Amino acid sequence: MAGDVRRRMTGGALRLLATGGFQATSFSNVLELTGAPRGSIYHHFPGGKDELVIAALDLAEENAEDALIAAGGTTPAEVADAFFGMWRQLLVSSECGAGCSVLGVTVSADSPDVLERAAEIFREWRASLAKRLADAGLEPSAAGPFATLLIAGAEGAVVLSRAEKSIEPFETVASGLRAHLASL
């Protein structure tokens, strides 16, 4: 039961990070969103907001990895399409109202611990994507740089789509990155 409350609060924090960034992820907002009892705050997160946000970032990392594993991909293009598909689904399901919680923290948090965890996640995503791309047949020397372009391009495209409330910028970037991948 206690684990369910912690998981619910962590999931709520993740949603708030994806829609409003670090500042929108207050304990009050998490409690309101999740219906968790007020006494749960320091019971489950004695380290305060930073501990809650880091738990939410850990969940974001896990969700992204699970989505990529589920999508599979036997060619570099399929791996890239799986990555784009993950972000496309988020944009469509949120009507372009949600983005990457890790990016949200990176641009709005001032906690060194939270920022370091966000940096770790980006490094892990780059390494994971590079490995998947190389395993799918992309030259290892090209896999790392393309993984970086893939993440940066998708993240920027999500930001543009959120700002414009349109999936079009995301699709434009995805198409351009697919064409670049084909040239590698």
Burial class of 103 by CB neighbour count within 10 A (0 to 12, 13 to 18, 19+) = buried
Q: What is the DSSP letter of 167?
A: S
Confidence label for 73 from pLDDT (cuts 50, 70 and 90): confident
Q: How many residues does the chain have?
A: 184
Residue 17 three-state SS: helix
Q: What is the mean pLDDT of residues 109-117?
A: 95
Cβ atoms of 91 and 132 within 8 Å: the answer is: no
Residue 66 has pLDDT above 90, yes or no: no
- Encoding tokens for residue 170? 């995301």
Greater model confidence, 27 or 166: 166
pLDDT confidence of residue 67: 83
Report whether pLDDT(93) > 70. yes
What pLDDT does 83 receive? 93
**18 or 68, which is more confident:** 18
| Model confidence pLDDT, tens digit, residues 154-181 | 999 999 999 999 999 999 999 999 999 9
How far, in Å, are 108, 128, 143, 182 from residue 146 at the CA level? 26, 12, 5, 11
Query: What percent of the chain lies above the pLDDT cut of 70?
Result: 98
pLDDT of 2 reads 57
The rounded distance, in Å, linking the Cα atoms of 101 and 80 is: 20
Lowest-confidence segment of 60-69, 89-98, 132-141 by average pLDDT: 60-69
Q: What domains, with CATH codes, occur in the chain?
A: 2-183 (1.10.357.10)
Looking at residue 1, what is its pLDDT?
A: 53
Q: What pLDDT band is residue 39 in, cutting at 50, 70 and 90? A: confident
Q: Rounded to whole angstroms, what are the CA distances from 132 to 22, 111, 153, 180? A: 30, 32, 18, 17
Q: What is the mean pLDDT of residues 76-101?
A: 95
What's the CA gap between 80 and 75, in Å, rounded?
Answer: 9
Given this model, what pLDDT does residue 3 score? 65
Across the chain, mean pLDDT equals 93
pLDDT of res. 42 = 84
